[in-house]
Chain A
Amino acid sequence: MLKDITFGQYYPGTSVVHRLDPRIKLILTLAYITMLFVADGMIPLAVGVGFVVLFYALARLPAKLIFKSMKPVVPIIVFTAVLNVLFIEGEPLWTFYFIKITKEGLLTAALMCVRILCLIAGSSLLTYTTSPIVLTDGLERLMRPLSAIKVPVHELAMMMTIALRFIPTLVEETGKIMSAQKARGADMESGTVIQRAKALVPILIPLFVSAFRRADELALAMECRCYHGGEGRTRMKQLSLGPQDWIAVLVVAAGFAGIVLLNLYGPPVLKL
């Protein structure tokens, strides 16, 4: 059961999207999210949808991955849609006692749903095509200017890398401890909420103990190899920008401009 949890959901590949520089991918993802919120009608938003489709196609990811990433947000989307449909005032299309459905409500709901879906799909694309380690690398580089104001950027990135590295280990460990306690008759599947919470104690305590033990061991191993933090440290893999990175930037910039233009001069249909 626990083995099914995948974290980081990296889907290895060699496509052009995979090979983009992680810094560029991070910035472009942020730009893309901004883009989705700038778009104020269905037509400009269609450009946003087009982007997701284009980049997923370029990344050669199986379509089922897109749906997999969207599954957890379905309740949120339904909730948002229902709220918007029911509570936005405007020109009524249909009334039933106190329920009033308006044109504005329907449109807002549709816009919000498309936005959320694109948002999830877009940010999942980042994690699907970038391994967590590379992503952390990119983040470290992007945040480097912050070290001028004494933010320990390298240390933070190292912590993140280590945390990511140990997630599968701890998941496996949890599975083992759960089996061991079940073998002693621990019952985790039945009982009231409080009983179930209590049943977690025999799992969490050994898990914490082992996490601390591992942390100690790792710290010792790092010290043995003379690790002393970020100062003067060089890297084995240098990040460098290639032509494909600049092309990606241009494509996204063009899309952004397109959306702004459509907002200003596009046909005023399906717009708020």
Chain B
Amino acid sequence: MSEIIRTEHLSYVYSAGTPFENAALDDINISVEEGTFLGLIGHTGSGKSTLIQHLNGLLKPDSGKVYIGGEDIWADPKKIRRFRFKVGLVFQYPEYQLFEETVRKDISFGPRNMGLSEEEIAGRVLEAAELVGLPENYLDKSPFELSGGEKRRAAIAGVLAMRPEVLILDEPTAGLDPRGREHILGEIAEYHDRYGATIILVSHSMEDVARFADHVLIMDHGHAAMYGTTREIFRRVGELTEMGLEVPQISRIFAGLAARGIPVPESVLTVGEAKEAVLRLLREGGGV
């Protein structure tokens, strides 16, 4: 596997030179392999949103470099749009960016900006709509007629239609009901599997990250505080709690059990895994 994203000493300061100066990012060095599903976690104001906006060149680093697919994205500032198509970014509440008369036109906004042929655009729109589960007859409706969850899916389809190699989503499930959340997360996982795309999922839900992500990056006060596989990170319950972050409930329970000397694996990420572990324990007749 090859490296798709690399940052070197990436730093960014808000309102430089004023009393409000605020280091949003401080010396971030990360490397992400192609096909990774990365969960990005941190408090509000920890620099998550600033970081992801650097990865597609919406923000320009004050110092340091960002490489996408081995290329320095700011080597030629005129060509920065190329990287916006390579790295698709879905903002928080993306439904507020819908603007076209029909869902179809809105989804084709990105591909059209890429300069693709009409034929290609039409195909991509259908595919993106199918991927997010929007029925074909919705495509000729006005985006403003859709329900909240459908709008969100239409907006995500607008980014998927660009078929980005890296897909970044900033809290895509915020404000949705449980069914809507499942829907969206399922679609993201589907995109990941179908195209082998790299995914960065910004989320406050540790459960969601534990279920889907294979790597986790923890941001804290503009620093990359921890970076590793999901299992490694969620094992460090103590450190995470100290930062004021949660770990998945089930991981916390198992960390607690292990600490009390019960022979269970220290790091358990999902309820399914937990079930297996408990059953194994009972079969072996050990423990309590």
- A positions within 8 Å CB-CB of B: 3, 173, 176-177, 179-187, 201-202, 205-206, 209-210
Contacts and interface: CB of A to CB of B under 8 A. Distances in A.
Interface string B65-107: 0000000000000000100110011110010111100000000
A176 B91 CA distance: 9
A184 B90 CA distance: 9
Contacts of B81: 185, 187
B257 interface: no
A180 B162 contact: no
A148 B91 CA distance: 51
Interface size on B, as a range, is 20 to 34
B91 A185 contact: no
Contacts of B158: 184
A183 B91 contact: yes
B144 interface: yes
Contact of A183 (B84, B99, B144): B84
27 contacts: A173-B96, A177-B97, A180-B94, A180-B96, A180-B97, A181-B97, A181-B109, A182-B58, A183-B84, A183-B89, A183-B90, A183-B91, A184-B84, A184-B109, A184-B110, A184-B158, A184-B162, A185-B109, A185-B162, A186-B109, A187-B113, A201-B99, A205-B99, A206-B97, A206-B98, A209-B96, A209-B99
B279 interface: no
A177 B113 CA distance: 16
B97 A185 contact: no
B58 A183 contact: yes
A179 B144 contact: no
B84 to A, nearest CB: 5
Contact of B99 (A3, A179, A187, A206): A206
B114 interface: yes
Given A185-B85, A187-B81, 17 more contacts: A3-B15, A173-B96, A176-B91, A180-B97, A182-B84, A183-B84, A183-B89, A183-B90, A183-B159, A184-B158, A184-B162, A185-B109, A185-B113, A186-B113, A206-B99, A209-B96, A210-B96
A3 B14 CA distance: 11
B36 interface: no
B267 interface: no
B91 A184 contact: no
Contacts, number: 58
| Residue from A180, A181, A182 with most neighbouring chain B CB atoms (10 Å) | A180
A196 to B, nearest CB: 14
Contacts of A177: 96-97
Nearest to A203: B99
B113 A184 contact: yes
A215 to B, nearest CB: 15
B29 interface: no
A185 B114 contact: yes
A202 B106 CA distance: 10
Given A183-B91, A187-B113, A206 B162 contact: no
B84 A180 contact: no
A65 to B, nearest CB: 15
Contacts of B15: 3
A185 B56 CA distance: 11
A246 to B, nearest CB: 37
B84 A202 contact: no
Contacts of B90: 183
Contacts of B84: 182-185
B205 interface: no
B109 A206 contact: no
Contacts of B99: 201-202, 205-206, 209
Nearest to A182: B58
Interface string B135-176: 000000000100000000000001100100000000000000
